[in-house]
Amino acid sequence: MRIVGDPVSWFVIEPGWRVTCVDGTEVGRVDEVIGDSGTDIFNGLSVSPGLFRGSRYVPSERVQRIEEGVVYLTLSPAQFEGLEEAVPAPPSEQIRPDTTDL
Give the span between the Cα atoms of 94 and 80, in whole angstroms.
36
Residue 90 domain-assigned? no
Q: What's residue 68's pLDDT?
A: 93
Residue 95 domain-assigned? no
- Structural domain of residue 36, as residue ranges? 11-81
Residue 60 domain-assigned? yes
Residue 101 domain-assigned? no
**Distances 69 to 64, 84, 100 between C-alpha atoms, Å:** 14, 24, 53
Give the span between the Cα atoms of 87 and 54, in whole angstroms.
10
**Residue 29's CATH number:** 2.30.30.240
The more confident residue out of 7 and 89 is 7
- pLDDT tens digits, one per residue of 12-46: 999 999 999 999 999 999 999 999 888 999 999 99
- pLDDT tens digits, one per residue of 41-90: 999 999 999 877 889 999 999 999 999 999 999 999 999 999 988 876 55
pLDDT of 94 strictly over 70: no
Residue 69 domain-assigned? yes
Residue 93 domain-assigned? no
pLDDT of 93 strictly over 50: no
Residue 87 domain-assigned? no
pTM of full prediction above 0.75: yes
Number of domains in the chain: 1
